[in-house]
Amino acid sequence: MRLSRYFLPVLKENPSEAQIVSHRLMLRAGMIKQASAGIYSWLPLGFKVLRKIENIVHEEQQRAGHIPMLMPTLQSADLWRESGRYDDYGEEMLRIKDRHGRDMLYGPTNEELITDIFRSHVGSYKDLPLTLYHIQWKFRDEIRPRFGVMRGREFFMKDGYNFDLTKEDALHAYNRHLVSYLRTYERMGLQAIPMRADGGPIGGDYTHEFLVLAETGESEVFYDSAVTDLTFGDREIDYDSVDQCAAVLEEFTSKYARTDETHDEVLFAEVPKDRQRTARGIEVGQIFYFGTKYSEAMGAKVQGPDGKTVPVHMGSHGIGVSRLLGAIIEASHDDRGIIWPEGVTPFHAGIVNLKQGDEEADAACDALYASLKALGLEPLYDDRNERAGGKFATMDLLGLPWRITVGPRGLKNGVVELTSRRTGESEEMPPEAAVQKIAQIYAGIA
Ligand code: P5A
């Protein structure tokens, strides 16, 4: 993309309404625009990152054997009356009447809708195990929407639902989700720690939240610092293996890590003093096992191998896809702007032309642009007639991991400059070498 032809409404000033750095940077980098409280338009740059995050989530869900589908945002109140949640959900649910006076709602989550689909089409244990998921907009009329996309009213969520014959099978589905979530967050450059939590309006008493540690996080968390040494890395897991998935759960959840809702002072005191930590975290996902809560209320049953009909065991599993943009920026920025991890960056590299209009510099930039594109990479070429300082400031704000700087002086010696946004280190090299280096870096990203 050539910056002169893009739509990137960068703000020079710090927007006064933004209280935390991710919100401020998303507004300044022209990624989002508030439409009304807690509701945002995704401008091209923000939309690009949202899609990248969504794609990683899709890939990892499907790697785990989960099946994508799409359910609507508007739901009928009748299903929620069956589960009893129409009244229980409270003020966070946006209730709507259609022209015939029928009660509708903008879905805050989809347990009822998916259970209805299941009961309509599945009647035998032979069709299990089954995990269906979608990535769809949700609405929760949060009393205090704030921090931009972190606590929105309309937000993008991946929600998945497992259906199993037995509790044991459903717990395997739970463990499988935990493993797939660890992989998902690490691909985005994040460490998200599973912590014992509370079921809230979804239900069940077996649930973990995934937290990214950050001062601006809304949750208070308590943990053994040893949990921060754990990484999933590039290990290969057989998602059908009950033992392998259970071993990962054991490894990642046996040390003390809880949110304030389930915090237990007595258990916490057993953690060695020098490893006890109290901090704040951003909840980027949550997994639940709630057994037969919805299947019993809504009659979602299957015939087992013994011929008896039993309600299925279920769980649901959510990732805050739009919230993740904020979480990634909170975890990865400096005072000049965003620093995107390679896995989610909106463009792979920036090209800065120090002397727009100079024949040689323009030709070198065009050639770099074409070479990167030919390798399947997306460069952002700042081809505007601006001073070098302004171009650098924009690139730093946008946070692309790599920048190639092209100027007449370097070109005389046959070199351009390749700069890492994260370390600030620069290296001079021939343009082809810069292209090759960038291609190699991205070839190593899953
Ligand atoms: C699990 C999937 C559920 O709703 N039902 C379907 C279960 N869980 S949850 O924890 O309530 O939400 C899942 C994730 O969605 C994100 N999230 C939000 N993101 C932005 N703004 C909000 N207001 C908001 N509320 C929830 C969180 O990341 C949460 O973990």
Q: Rounded to the nearest 5°, which phi and psi values hold at 265?
A: -60, -35
Among 317, 337, 357, the domain boundary falls at 337
Among 276, 307, 337, the domain boundary falls at 337
Residue 422 CB partners (closer than 8 Å, separation 6+)? 339, 401
Decide if 133 is inside a domain.
yes
Which atom of ligand 1 is nearest to 282's Cα? 28
Is the Cβ–Cβ distance between 334 and 399 less than 8 Å?
Answer: no
Residue 288 per-residue DSSP state: E
| SS3 labels along 21-51 | HHHHHHHHCCCEEEEECCEEEECHHHHHHHH
66 burial type by CB count under 10 A (0-12 exposed, 13-18 middle, 19+ buried): buried
CA of 200 to the centre of ligand 1 (A): 11
Q: Judge if 325 and 221 occupy the same domain.
A: yes
Decide if 436 is inside a domain.
yes
Among 337, 372, 400, the domain boundary falls at 337
CA of 78 to the centre of ligand 1 (A): 23
Residue 76 per-residue DSSP state: E
Helix then strand then coil, % of the chain, to nearest 5? 35, 30, 35
Which atom of ligand 1 is nearest to 209's Cα? 30
Q: Rounded to the nearest 5°, which phi and psi values hold at 322?
A: -70, -35
Q: What CATH number is attached to the domain comprising 415?
A: 3.40.50.800
Q: Judge if 380 and 332 occupy the same domain.
A: no
Q: Judge if 136 and 195 occupy the same domain.
A: yes
d(CA 344, CA 339): 10
Task: Indicate which residue's Cα is closest to atom 24 of ligand 1.
Answer: 151
CA of 323 to the centre of ligand 1 (A): 9
- Residue span of the structural domain in which 308 resides: 3-337
Is the Cβ–Cβ distance between 226 and 275 less than 8 Å?
Answer: yes
Q: Where are the alpha helices (DSSP H) in 106-211?
A: 111-121, 167-187
Decide if 158 is inside a domain.
yes
332 token code pair? 């990865």
Decide if 130 is inside a domain.
yes
CA of 132 to the centre of ligand 1 (A): 17
Decide if 291 is inside a domain.
yes
Through-space distance between the first and last CA atoms of the chain, rounded to whole angstroms:
23
CA of 100 to the centre of ligand 1 (A): 31
CA of 318 to the centre of ligand 1 (A): 6
Which atom of ligand 1 is nearest to 142's Cα? 23
Q: Judge if 326 and 307 occupy the same domain.
A: yes
Decide if 342 is inside a domain.
no
47-55's contacts with Cβ under 8 Å and 24+ in sequence apart are: 48/346, 48/347, 49/325, 49/340, 49/344, 49/345, 49/346, 50/156, 50/321, 50/322, 50/325, 52/343, 52/344, 52/345, 52/346, 53/188, 53/321, 53/324, 53/325, 53/344, 54/135, 54/156, 54/158, 54/321
Which atom of ligand 1 is nearest to 319's Cα? 14
Residue 171 CB partners (closer than 8 Å, separation 6+)? 289
Tens digit of pLDDT at every position of the chain (446 positions): 999 999 999 998 899 989 999 999 999 999 999 999 999 999 999 999 999 999 999 999 999 999 999 999 999 999 999 999 999 999 999 999 999 999 999 999 999 999 999 999 999 999 999 999 999 999 999 999 999 999 999 999 999 999 999 999 999 999 999 999 999 999 999 999 999 999 989 988 899 999 999 999 999 999 999 999 999 999 999 999 999 999 999 999 999 999 999 999 999 999 999 999 999 999 999 999 999 999 999 999 999 999 999 999 999 999 999 999 999 999 999 999 999 999 999 999 999 999 999 999 999 999 999 999 999 999 999 999 999 999 999 999 999 999 999 999 999 999 999 999 999 999 999 999 999 999 999 998 86
User: Taking the CA of residue 347 as centre, how many other CA atoms within 13 Å lie in the half-sphere pointing to its CB?
Assistant: 26
Residue that is written with structure tokens 């290296």 in the block: 427
Task: Indicate which residue's Cα is closest to atom 16 of ligand 1.
Answer: 320
User: Taking the CA of residue 153 as centre, how many other CA atoms within 13 Å lie in the half-sphere pointing to its CB?
Assistant: 18
392-398's contacts with Cβ under 8 Å and 24+ in sequence apart are: 392/352, 393/336, 394/3, 394/10, 395/350, 395/352, 395/421, 396/336, 396/337, 396/421, 397/10, 397/25, 397/28, 397/29, 397/336, 397/337, 397/338, 398/29, 398/45, 398/337, 398/338, 398/346, 398/347, 398/350
Residue 120 CB partners (closer than 8 Å, separation 6+)? none
d(CA 442, CA 223): 34
Q: Judge if 32 and 65 occupy the same domain.
A: yes
d(CA 218, CA 144): 12
Task: Indicate which residue's Cα is closest to atom 2 of ligand 1.
Answer: 318
Q: Judge if 321 and 371 occupy the same domain.
A: no
Q: Judge if 105 and 139 occupy the same domain.
A: yes
Domains held by the chain: number: 2
Task: Indicate which residue's Cα is closest to atom 3 of ligand 1.
Answer: 318
CA of 198 to the centre of ligand 1 (A): 13
d(CA 373, CA 369): 6
Q: What CATH number is attached to the domain comprising 198?
A: 3.30.930.10
Q: Judge if 55 and 78 occupy the same domain.
A: yes
Query: Which of 135, 221, 259, 286 best tests ligand 1's pocket when mutated (most atoms within 8 Å of CB)?
Result: 286
Task: Indicate which residue's Cα is closest to atom 10 of ligand 1.
Answer: 286
Task: Indicate which residue's Cα is closest to atom 22 of ligand 1.
Answer: 151
CA of 285 to the centre of ligand 1 (A): 7
CA of 158 to the centre of ligand 1 (A): 9
Query: Which of 54, 323, 324 best tests ligand 1's pocket when mutated (most atoms within 8 Å of CB)?
Result: 323
Q: Judge if 92 and 132 occupy the same domain.
A: yes
Q: How many residues does the chain have?
A: 446
Task: Indicate which residue's Cα is closest to atom 4 of ligand 1.
Answer: 109
> What's the confidence (pLDDT) of residue 444?
87
Q: Judge if 328 and 362 occupy the same domain.
A: no
103 burial type by CB count under 10 A (0-12 exposed, 13-18 middle, 19+ buried): middle
> What's the confidence (pLDDT) of residue 446?
62
152 token code pair? 């929105």
Q: Judge if 323 and 416 occupy the same domain.
A: no
d(CA 300, CA 75): 19
Three-state secondary structure call for residue 418: strand
| Nearest by Cα to 291 from 311, 275, 318 | 311
Task: Indicate which residue's Cα is closest to atom 6 of ligand 1.
Answer: 159
Decide if 277 is inside a domain.
yes
Task: Indicate which residue's Cα is closest to atom 8 of ligand 1.
Answer: 318
Q: Judge if 262 and 382 occupy the same domain.
A: no
Pocket of ligand 1 (CB under 6 A): 109, 140, 142, 151-152, 155, 157, 159, 202, 283-286, 288, 316-318, 320, 322-323
Decide if 144 is inside a domain.
yes
